């Protein structure tokens, strides 16, 4: 009897056209505060793709209202998401007309109708395509979304499910000269990632990995460690990251990993590939230390952070794509996917080629 578990058949990614180094951004925003300059310089990020506001004649960027930021999110969605979707579907010979279920994830803009409806109209998805929007869960949400997408695919054999992580993080930026906003502004980048999921006996000879299971862990005492607040003075939402996040996440990282592996009779030595969310150097270091991973194990996590910054919910798919392009995965290999975010939350998934 065939084991028709869903497979991750193809991945596509895309970013805005403008790429900025950390030094470029400091110059663009005329930052001279030594603490903020040091923060940008020591973030282990070399460049990011961002939608930045036009410059003023006297220098520096124009102010953006909350309305401007929402319009930026919608504009970026329409420009970048179709590229990621087409890059995901083209290698397997599909178009958006072949998609039966669409799940879109974002935490960087509040749109109603949501991203699914906007993309269905803009790209020409079938009108009977089922859809769901997951909004506001944060950087962990890629695996929160993949779980129901995989379940839908398993309940609908042969049908095509598409998950899109659509994060225009620059639509959540506030520039007020504070260390609070500087931490966010030094870390996040704009990008979209799409993954095609299907459970079909036609794919049994495919090299695409099967999704074997998930495990979640929420650290409720740290619920306020990552959050959006309304900034009355600025008149827009402002994201907050607590400095203790790496220690909170690291101290709890083993719990979902151990449960996930124990459920499938595995030990950490059986895992050939680790795809960890590019949350920031200190977060990744805390995960490495507490789970016992080498630098090599998280090489793609580090390289995505270096080249793109933290891409929120889609970061792990950017890293996963680099793993596939590397060409070192072998049939039978196990992999663990891990994302972290607000809640505070750790999400994990087990896959096998």
The residues assigned a catalytic role are: 139
Contact 94, 160 (CB under 8 A): yes
Q: Is 105 helix (H, G, I), strand (E, B) or coil?
A: strand
Phi, psi of 246 (to 5 degrees): -55, -40
Peptide bond into 216 cis (omega under 30): no
Q: Which of 181, 139, 143, 170 is nearest to 283 (CA)?
A: 139
- Spell out the long-range contacts of 320-323 with Cβ–Cβ below 8 A and sequence spacing 24 or more: 320/8, 320/11, 320/275, 321/11, 321/13, 321/193, 323/273, 323/275
Q: Please tell me the distance from the alpha carbon of residue 66 to that of residue 40, in angstroms, as a whole number.
A: 25
329 exposed, middle or buried (CB, 10 Å; 0-12, 13-18, 19+)?
Answer: middle
What is the torsional sign of CA 299, 301, 304, 306? negative
Q: Which of 153, 177, 173 is nearest to 163 (CA)?
A: 153
Q: Is 91 helix (H, G, I), strand (E, B) or coil?
A: helix
Contact 115, 104 (CB under 8 A): yes
Q: Which residues contact 33 (CB under 8 A, 6 or more apart)?
A: 177, 182
CB neighbours of residue 124 within 10 Å:
11
Q: Which of 212, 189, 208, 215 is nearest to 309 (CA)?
A: 189
Q: Which residues contact 144 (CB under 8 A, 6 or more apart)?
A: 105, 134, 137, 216, 347
Instruction: Give the tokens for residue 145.
Output: 């979304």
């Amino acid at each position: 009897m065939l084991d028709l578990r869903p497979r991750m058949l193809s991945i596509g990614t895309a970013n805005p056209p403008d790429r900025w180094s950390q030094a470029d951004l400091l110059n663009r925003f005329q930052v001279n505060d030594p603490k903020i300059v040091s923060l940008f310089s020591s973030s282990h990020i070399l460049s990011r793709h961002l939608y930045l506001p036009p410059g003023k004649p006297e220098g520096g960027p124009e102010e953006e209202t909350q309305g401007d930021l929402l319009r930026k999110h919608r504009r970026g969605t329409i420009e970048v998401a179709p590229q990621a979707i087409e890059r995901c579907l083209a290698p397997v010979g599909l178009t958006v007309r072949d998609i039966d279920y669409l799940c879109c994830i974002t935490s960087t803009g509040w749109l109603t109708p949501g991203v699914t409806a906007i993309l269905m109209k803009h790209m020409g998805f079938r009108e009977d395509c089922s859809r769901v929007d997951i909004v506001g869960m944060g950087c962990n949400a890629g695996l929160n979304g993949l779980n129901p997408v995989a379940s839908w695919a398993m309940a609908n054999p042969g049908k095509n499910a598409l998950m899109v992580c659509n994060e225009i993080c620059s639509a959540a930026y506030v520039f007020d000269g504070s260390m609070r906003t500087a931490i966010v502004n030094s870390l996040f980048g704009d990008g979209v990632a799409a993954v095609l999921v299907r459970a079909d006996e036609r794919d049994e000879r495919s090299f695409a990995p099967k999704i074997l299971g998930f495990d979640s862990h929420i650290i409720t005492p740290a619920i306020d460690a990552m959050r959006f607040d309304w900034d009355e003075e600025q008149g827009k939402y402002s994201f907050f990251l607590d400095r203790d996040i790496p220690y909170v996440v690291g101290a709890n990282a083993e719990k979902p990993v151990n449960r996930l592996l124990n459920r499938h009779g595995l030990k950490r030595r059986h895992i050939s590939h680790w795809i960890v969310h590019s949350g920031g150097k200190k977060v990744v270091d805390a995960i490495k230390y507490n789970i016992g991973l080498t630098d090599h194990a998280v090489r793609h996590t580090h390289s995505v952070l270096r080249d793109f910054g933290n891409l929120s919910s889609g970061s792990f798919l950017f890293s996963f794509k680099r793993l596939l392009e590397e060409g070192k995965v072998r049939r039978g290999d196990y992999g663990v996917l891990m994302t972290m975010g607000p809640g505070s939350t750790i999400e994990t998934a087990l896959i096998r080629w």
